[in-house]
């Protein structure tokens, strides 16, 4: 019995907390500068919603007797590190951004609309959230793979989510925006026009979580050691490039492997192909806040990179998969209110609402106010405060004191300000304005940047947007909703609206629907306003199209389509060239097990035409050998080729296998490589670096 008691004591001891001589911190380990005063608009002004330290303290108190939990969205996560590579001390005092500093991180990617068991390949926004475990406490950069959002004010967020979720009367459709309630809401909210262009583009159906950008969405502030602020926008730039899939392909991937993105991320890390993103910032001096034709506090607007270039300040590498999905990925709690000294909020009205919403959600979802004690959420520098009770408490704070100020615990944990230490301080921004429910006039320009995005796309990308809108609106049963949205599209681009209208059998109206105008004027009484002249008409940075020679095929999966009697030499030659570039060669045959080489010996086969699908591979190679005659009569093999061609992927044929193209719908183009006419490996790799041969879509239509 004594041995069991000792074991129990040892387990308890590791959660003991000693506040002696410790600075007072938030639950994320951020030092608290002042624990007596809420953040106000002036000494006698109203308290501000962005006082995340106050809300953290009060909501813990509110829930100390209330256990609650709610289900979470579908997501995938991984551990890694962030290394700061630039000197940012002129702009921010944040310790983790000092050049050379390496900070552990946990990153979670997610879909938005679907339930936990939905497909990875839904057309949807992707969450892109990073938790930095810094020396000064946890910092959460909670973003998306799209830099803007549907709405401008947090008051509309519950309505947006209700509209895009399955309809409440029948709970359909799952993980899809192609239904009446979503487009009913969107067609009445012209502020969503810019986001609509992004969500209908290939950005919403990424090839991989490793191949999508991330954005902080909102404008934040850097604050340096002297208290000077600089507006900042955050960007994650993937080292593998930004790539999507074809819509027809996405639908098939969903049926074949609903975990496609999750599996891709997991396998890449397991294989040592660690995904990397460069962290970039756009910096705007305080005095330039009103410099542009758009408002930098409007979350439906970007700052074009041609106006303010993105400066790379560090690199994130994801190098370790979770050991337990639930304990880490599912219980990871992200909150844009988790800041560290040197970073602060702007007055973006959507961000202001998120500061409260996310913390409140995590308290509810993770069963109470102590979710920060879960291992995945713990700050590496510890936490020290007077909060002791509440549901799911894991730490065991001792002593009789649970308040501040106190003398019984010698004033500990103490304010950072009491001993001249650095703590979190909000930027001293002057505020002198009436309390109103209103929006700036510049927020009423809903179409200029939507037009910028559409015009900046390649012809193929524009066609994909038109097809996506046609698909989605075809699923809308109420013709009045279709007409309203066509009128919105007509304000963006008349050709866009006409082509979508032709696919719906409708003529777009020149004017916005009266109901749309009615709701828009509730926010802007003078709507529509005359927008300012935009600084630029085109932004090449908004297109996903890869410039020749700039891509990479690292970690891409190339299907080698083989059968009995395949030439080992033909396989090995191409395999070596692909592996030099970091790609993977995967042999696929009519059956798993073994097949014989033409030259003798056997190849191990782990994948067959029955267990695999073309949509899960990036390119295809057909080697030489006696296998060619067998493959000519294999319908599953021919289906692989036809689908790969349909989805604009690179196909390479060894000289002896070129006749197989004649058995398919394939026609020679720059993405179909014949050894007898091209530089086989070199040209194959060059096409793969361009991601797809999207021009193929405008030619012959191929069934798949």
* Residues with a known catalytic role: 72, 144
Q: Is residue 35 within 8 Å of 415, Cβ to Cβ?
A: yes
How far lies 429's CA from each of 173, 289, 337, in Å?
A: 46, 13, 18
- d(C-alpha 116, C-alpha 118), whole Å: 6
Tokens at 210, concatenated: 């490793």
Alpha-helix residue ranges (DSSP H) falling in 336-413: 349-365
Q: Is the dihedral of CA 456, 461, 467, 469 positive or negative?
A: negative
Assess contact for 631 and 663: CB atoms under 8 A: no
CA distance 375 to 373: 6
Q: Is the peptide bond preceding residue 108 cis, with omega within 30 degrees of 0?
A: no
Distance CA 653, CA 643 (A): 16
CA distance 52 to 57: 9
Place of tokens 């698909």: 471
Token readout for 383 is 């936490």
Tell me which residue of 276, 295, 294, 190 sits closest to 238, measured CA to CA: 276
CA neighbor of 657 nearest in space, from 676, 682, 685, 684: 676
Short-list 126, 123, 127, CA closest to 178:
123
Q: Which of 199, 190, 219, 301 is nearest to 532 (CA)?
A: 301
Dihedral sign for Cα 317, 302, 151, 441, please: positive
Contact, 504 vs 474, CB < 8 A? yes
Residue corresponding to tokens 């702007």: 346
Rounded Cα distance, 438 and 270, in Å = 51
Residues 19 and 539: their CA atoms lie apart, in Å, by: 54
- 365, 309, 301: which is closest to 332 by C-alpha? 365
**Alpha-carbon torsion (679, 682, 686, 689), positive or negative:** positive
Tell me how far the alpha carbon of residue 342 is from its chain's centroid.
Answer: 24
Contact 500, 462 (CB under 8 A): no
SS3 of 445-456: the string is CCCHHHHHHHHC
Structure tokens of 354? 């998120």
Query: In angstroms, rounded to a whole number, what is the distance separating the alpha carbons of residues 704 and 699?
Result: 15
Distance, CA of 548 to CA of 351 (rounded, Å): 38
Sheet holding 584-589, edge to edge: 607-608, 584-589, 557-561, 619-622, 650-653, 672-674
Rounded (10°) CA dihedral 200, 205, 210, 212 = -10
Phi, psi for residue 699 in degrees, rounded to 5? -95, -135
Q: How far apart are CA 128 and CA 147, in angstroms?
A: 11
d(CA 272, CA 512): 53
Answer yes or no: are the C-beta atoms of 178 and 471 closer than 8 Å. Answer: yes
**Can you tell me the distance from the alpha carbon of 521 to that of 13, in angstroms, rounded to the nearest whole number?**
61
């Amino acid at each position: 019995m004594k041995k069991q008691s000792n074991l129990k004591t040892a387990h308890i001891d590791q959660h003991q907390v000693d506040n002696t001589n410790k600075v007072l911190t938030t639950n994320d380990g951020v030092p608290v500068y002042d624990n007596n005063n809420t953040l106000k608009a002036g000494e006698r002004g109203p308290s501000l919603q962005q006082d995340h330290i106050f809300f953290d303290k009060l909501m813990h108190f509110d829930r100390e007797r209330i256990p609650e939990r709610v289900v979470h969205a579908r997501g995938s996560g991984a551990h890694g590190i962030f290394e700061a590579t630039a000197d940012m001390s002129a702009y921010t005092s944040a310790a983790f951004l000092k050049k050379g500093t390496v900070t552990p991180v946990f990153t979670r990617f997610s879909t938005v609309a679907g339930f936990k068991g939905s497909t990875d390949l839904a057309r949807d926004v992707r969450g892109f959230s990073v938790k930095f475990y810094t020396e000064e406490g946890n910092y959460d950069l909670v973003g998306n793979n799209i830099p803007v959002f549907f709405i401008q004010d947090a008051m509309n967020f519950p309505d947006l989510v209700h509209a895009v979720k399955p309809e409440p009367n029948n709970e359909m459709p799952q993980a899809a925006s192609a239904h009446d309630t979503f487009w009913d809401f969107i067609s009445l909210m012209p502020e969503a026009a810019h986001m609509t262009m992004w969500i209908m583009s290939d950005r919403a159906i990424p090839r991989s979580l490793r191949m999508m950008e991330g954005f902080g969405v909102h404008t934040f502030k850097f604050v340096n050691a002297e208290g000077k602020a600089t507006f900042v926008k955050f960007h994650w730039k993937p080292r593998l490039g930004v790539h999507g899939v074809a819509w027809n392909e996405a639908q098939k991937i969903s049926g074949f492997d609903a975990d496609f993105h999750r599996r891709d991320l997991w396998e890449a890390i397991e294989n040592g192909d660690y995904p990397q993103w460069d962290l970039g910032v756009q910096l705007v001096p305080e005095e330039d806040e009103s410099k542009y034709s758009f408002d930098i506090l409007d979350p439906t607007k970007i700052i074009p990179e041609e106006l303010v270039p993105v400066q790379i300040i560090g690199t994130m590498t994801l190098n370790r998969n979770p050991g337990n999905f639930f304990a880490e990925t599912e219980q990871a709690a992200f909150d844009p209110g988790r800041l560290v000294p040197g970073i602060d909020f702007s007055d973006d009205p959507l961000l202001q609402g998120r500061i409260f919403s996310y913390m409140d959600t995590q308290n509810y979802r993770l069963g109470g106010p102590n979710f920060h004690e879960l291992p995945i959420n713990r700050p590496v520098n510890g936490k020290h405060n007077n909060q002791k009770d509440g549901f799911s408490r894991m730490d065991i704070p001792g002593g009789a004191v649970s308040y501040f100020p106190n003398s019984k615990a010698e004033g500990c944990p103490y304010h950072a300000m009491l001993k001249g230490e650095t703590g979190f301080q909000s930027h001293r921004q002057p505020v002198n304005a009436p309390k109103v429910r209103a929006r700036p006039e510049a927020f009423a320009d809903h179409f200029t940047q939507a037009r910028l995005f559409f015009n900046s796309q390649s012809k193929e990308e524009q066609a994909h947007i038109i097809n996506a809108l046609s698909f989605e609106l075809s699923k809308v049963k109420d013709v009045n909703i279709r007409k309203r949205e066509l009128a919105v599209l007509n304000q963006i681009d008349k050709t866009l609206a006409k082509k979508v209208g032709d696919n719906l059998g409708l003529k777009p109206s020149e004017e916005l629907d009266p109901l749309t105008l009615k709701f828009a004027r509730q926010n802007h009484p003078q709507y529509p306003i005359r927008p300012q002249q935009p600084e630029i008409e085109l932004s090449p940075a908004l297109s996903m199209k890869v410039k020749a020679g700039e891509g990479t095929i690292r970690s891409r999966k190339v299907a080698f389509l083989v059968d009995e009697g395949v030439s080992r030499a033909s396989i090995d030659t191409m395999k070596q060239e692909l592996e030099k570039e970091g790609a993977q060669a995967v042999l696929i045959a009519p059956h798993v097990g073994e097949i014989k080489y033409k030259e003798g010996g056997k190849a191990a086969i782990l994948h067959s035409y029955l267990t695999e699908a073309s949509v899960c591979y990036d390119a295809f190679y057909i080697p030489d050998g006696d296998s060619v005659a067998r493959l000519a009569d294999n319908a599953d093999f021919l289906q692989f080729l036809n689908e790969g061609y349909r989805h604009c992927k690179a196909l390479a044929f060894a000289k002896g296998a070129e006749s197989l193209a004649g058995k398919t719908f394939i026609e020679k183009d720059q993405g179909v490589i014949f050894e007898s006419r091209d530089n086989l490996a070199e040209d194959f790799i060059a096409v793969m670096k361009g991601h797809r041969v999207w021009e193929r879509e405008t030619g012959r239509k191929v069934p798949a």
